Structure 1
């Protein structure tokens, strides 16, 4: 791994996978009062899954790590457009894809880090007003 950006993208991928791997109640607790749109989560994870192959070519991930990320990307691609609308907290309870993605994210973390139980990313505070 020779790019500072690669290290950042690797870290971001691992943190997002930790969030996807967490139990549903932990995901909901992490969300708290945040109104995170499902489509934003899907797009972010799809992007991370797409760039993972290039990151592996540059040494940020091992080629064996890609199998689970690709499976996550495929499962996300199966989520119907209507199910991408609304809050992620609601989708976690109603869209079966999230329950399917959880074990894939866990397997990715086990393969990559040796354990799926990782700290959840620090939540980003929403922007409020002008700078």
Structure 2
């Protein structure tokens, strides 16, 4: 890794992948009262999957680590527009796509970190507009 930004993007990718790898009950508990739009989550994850290619070129990920992220990116790209509407909490509970992504995320973490069981990222506080 030769850029401070690369370390941040690597950590962000690992945090999101850890969340994807965990079970639905833990994912919903992590979400709590947060209202994340499925479309926003999918776009963020697709971006991280694409950015990881450049990170691997700069040594932040090993090239063999990318197989899992590429598979996640492909699966995310197959989610149609109708399934991207609404809250992610609802999609986690009703859309089997997230059950298909979970083992891909677990494999990526096993390949990258040796185990898929990682601490969940600290939830980000919802933006209230207050300063």
In the alignment, the residues of structure 1 paired with residue 129 and residue 109 of structure 2 have an alpha-carbon distance, to the nearest angstrom, of 37
Aligned to 2:37: 37
Aligned to 1:115: 115
Q: Does 1:67 align with 2:67?
A: yes
Aligned to 2:89: 89
TM-score computed with the length of structure 1 as normaliser? 0.98
TM-score computed with the length of structure 2 as normaliser? 0.98
Q: May I ask how many residue pairs the two structures share in their alignment?
A: 131
Aligned to 2:4: 4
Query: How much does 1:112 deviate?
Result: 0.1
- Structure 1: unaligned runs, 5 residues or longer: none
Q: What is the aligned-residue RMSD (CA, Å)?
A: 0.7
Runs of 4+ deviating beyond 6 Å: none
